[in-house]
Amino acid sequence: MNKKLFFINSIFIFSICFIIFLFNDSFAWGDPQIVGKINSAFLNIEKWIIQISTPAAAVAVGSGIFMRKFSFGDEERIRMGKKIIKGSLFSYALIMAIDLILSAIESLIA
C-alpha cells in the first residue's frame, strides 16, 4: 500500500513538472507586466539617487574644503579633509556613471 501511494505521488509530481516545462513557452508572449514595472521602478530609483547625490556631494566637498582651510596647520585635519574630498568626488563620479554601468550589464545579459 505504501509503495503504491509513493509511486502514484511521484508520477503525479513528475507529470506536473513535465507539463510546466513543456508549456513554458506559452507563458512568455511579449514583455510581462511585472518586468515593465520593475524596469520603471529601477529608473525612478536611479533618478532619485542622482537627485539626492548632487547636493550631498556638494556638502561633502564643501566640508572637506572648510576642514582643510580651517585646520590651522593640524596635519591630521588636512589629511582628513583631503580624504573627504577624494572620497566624495569618487562616490559622486560612481553614482553619475551608474547609468553606464547598468546599460553595460543589460547589454551583457540581453
Q: DSSP labels for 7-66?
A: HHHHHHHHHHHHHHHHTGGGG-SS--HHHHHHHHHHHHHHHHHHHHHHHHHHHHHHHHHH
Please report the pLDDT score of residue 24 as a whole number: 54
Q: What residues make up the domain containing 44?
A: 33-109
Q: Is residue 69 part of a domain?
A: yes
How does pLDDT run across 72-110, given as a tens digit for each residue? Answer: 888 998 999 999 999 999 988 988 888 788 778 777 775
Instruction: Using a pLDDT cut of 70, give the percent of the chain over it.
Output: 80
**Which grid coordinates belong to 9?**
505521488
Please report the pLDDT score of residue 100 as a whole number: 83
Q: Is residue 6 part of a domain?
A: no
Report the distance separating Cα 15 and Cα 44, nearest Å. Answer: 42
Please report the pLDDT score of residue 94 as a whole number: 87
- Total number of domains constituting the chain: 1
